[in-house]
Chains A and B, each alone.
Chain A
Amino acid sequence: MIRAKTAYRTWRDRWRRLTARKYFWPAVLTAGLAFSIAADKYDFVDLYVQLIIIYVGINIILTVSLNLINGYMGEFSVGHAGFMAVGAYTASLLTVYAFPPGLQQLLFPLAVLAGGLAAALIGFLVAIPSFKTRGDYLAIVTLAFCMIVKSVLENIDAVGGPRGLLGMEKLTTLPWVFFWTALSVWVIRNLVYSNFGRGVLSVREDEIAADLMSVNTRQVKIIAFIVSSFFAGIAGGLFAHALQFINPRMFDIIKSTDVLIMVYLGGIASIAGSVIGAVIYTILLEILRPLGVWRMVFMPLLLVVLMIYRPRGIMGLRETRLFEPLSDLATITLWRQKKKEAPDGAP
């Protein structure tokens, strides 16, 4: 028992030293990119598995970006599918109608980027009501927005109306998904630990106090919504070109609920939690596929049980050392040491 414990500790320390290295993240990212390019080119990974990995990546982007609003800023947005729809339709319209057929591969990142930017523009508009309304009322605003997007798309015949949009090539490949996923995690993680991120957290904790401490809450809300919807749009563009078919009903409230579940399963205000939540939820749904209809009976039950025994989700309000900035990490270590030395008195 003791030997196991010491072994665990040595391995843990080795792991910590490894992750604290300067070259850890670049190495991991290069390896991941190399693997994804190789898997895409030489097909040594099953196509089905590739598709699941693509979905995992898309879900990570969605979850991390929604966590910025729902977790870090403490609002309850249920309109993420709406932003995703805007991105998906913008990107698909570009690749289907605007781009010349030969240059699709080359211009695909531009299409996805345009989808993200379009979603960000809409996100800016949705942010404006959030100045005054909060909580459940803001939830309604985002919900109404999500339904408006769906019903507008259903009423425009040029984008296929309720039948949806066809004709995208399968442009979402593993390397691109890896790139965008890594980018979204990196951007949002850095945002959260920046000066701006402290502002976001202060809006969650107490908006009036934040205002008094000269946090520009309006600016914080606008930027948070823009960034979050930008990445939702990116995820939408990737999703459309992975599935090669979209229709407005894919982006209704049920899709938003899915993302919400991943966020709260992983835990609010945690990058690692979002990644874990998205990975677990997506993969578990695939593993349970043989159960047929009953898998969607067991999944919610699992969620309810998890929420009862762990109301904050898997990683709620905590972060793994991987995503913690080094200066914060030093403070935490120091604090723990002091606590160990003087267990009674608070440091």
Chain B
Amino acid sequence: MAYFFQQLLNALQLGSIYALIALGYTMVYGILTMINFAHGDLFMVGAFFCFLLAVYLKLSFVPTLLLSMLGVACLGVIIERLAYKPLRTAPRVSAIITALGVGLFLENFTLALSPYPKHIPPLLKNVTWTVGELSISSLQVLVIVLSLGLMLILDFVVWRTKAGMAMRAISWDKTIVPLMGVSVNKIISLTFAIGTGLGGAAGVLYSLAYPVIDPYMGIMVGWKAFICAVVGGIGNVRGAMIGGFILGAVEILVAAFFPSTYRDFVAFTLLLVLLILKPYGILGRPQPQKV
């Protein structure tokens, strides 16, 4: 039983990272109905920022986290301005392909600059507490608490502030909202900044938890986070969090009780079954098709 709870703790750690990344997908989708496939690679850039700041500038944990988030957020806004904004009226798939292109660019640019996997130095002293048979590391607690905190802040921003209201309004109807005096461009930039900033934070936390980083790490994690967003119902912020924890739990528990190579197989089969049972995700609303 202790083994189970131990794995559950690991699942919570992985799930909170997935959830943070999935939030970026889902926020951008909610506002632009566009899948930002470069998001996984922005997560990777966040991890590399963490590496640069921690190794070359020798910063401690808090400034590293904040600066990485800021850097990735700026990068996200720049990408939105340069690559996605001209395509806002274009067919949806061209925006998706552009996003794939941006993602490839980020991967290979990073690869060209740093061809070898990098090792992140431990930024914090890791303490392990033993509660009963459970051993809890301070790193796990930090990852879980920090991501939950960020998610709570995000939930507050989306549901309780004016900017959040504007975001929800834009995802509801894009033509009416500018008539109400809301600057759509600013809100979209803000959404990108928040979403990619969370992705950057996830990159830092991920590289603390699994300290070897390489330029291609964002692909698999990114696609999995995208799956989380869809499982929760894409466009739905709370759904993305739920989806992240579900996928994290499934992956860790499968790896704990079966050979770990079955992990992806079982995770994706479960996903297929879930999508067949609930075709619009857990919290997603079926969109009525107009004739």
Contacts and interface: CB of A to CB of B under 8 A. Distances in A.
Interface of A: 70, 76, 129, 132-133, 136-137, 140-141, 143-145, 147-148, 150-152, 154-155, 162, 206-209, 253-254, 257, 260-261, 264, 268, 293-294, 296-297, 299-301, 303-304, 307-308, 311-313
Given A147-B264, A264-B94, A140 B227 contact: yes
Contacts of A261: 97, 100-101
B264 A151 contact: yes
A264 B275 contact: no
Q: What does DSSP make chain B's interface, helix, strand, loop or mixed?
A: helix
A323 B86 CA distance: 32
Interface in B94-128: 94-98, 100-105, 107-109, 111-112, 115
Contacts, number: 130
B274 to A, nearest CB: 10
Contact of B101 (A151, A152, A253, A304): A304
Contacts of B219: 253-254
B101 A301 contact: yes
Contact of A150 (B111, B264, B271): B264
B275 to A, nearest CB: 6
B100 A257 contact: yes
A144 B90 contact: no
Interface residues of B, number: 48
Which of A70, A254, A308 gathers the greatest number of chain B CB atoms within 10 Å?
A308
B105 A294 contact: no
A95 B264 CA distance: 29
B268 interface: yes
Contact of A308 (B87, B91, B111, B263): B87
A307 B227 contact: no
A96 B235 CA distance: 48
Contacts of A304: 83, 98, 101-102, 105
A299 B93 CA distance: 19
A307 B107 CA distance: 19
Given A304-B102, A307-B101, A137 B275 contact: yes
B273 to A, nearest CB: 10
In the complex, which of the residues B108, B115, B219 has the most CB atoms of chain A within 10 Å of its own CB atom? Answer: B108
B175 interface: no
B264 A308 contact: no
B94 A307 contact: yes
A260 B35 CA distance: 15
B291 interface: yes
Given A129-B276, A132-B279, A148-B269, A293 B115 contact: yes
B97 to A, nearest CB: 4
B130 interface: no
Interface string B77-97: 000000100110011011111
A208 B289 contact: yes
Contacts of B276: 129, 132-133
A301 B105 CA distance: 7
Given A143-B223, A147-B264, A307 B87 contact: yes
11 contacts: A129-B275, A144-B272, A148-B268, A155-B265, A208-B289, A209-B291, A294-B112, A297-B108, A307-B94, A307-B97, A308-B87
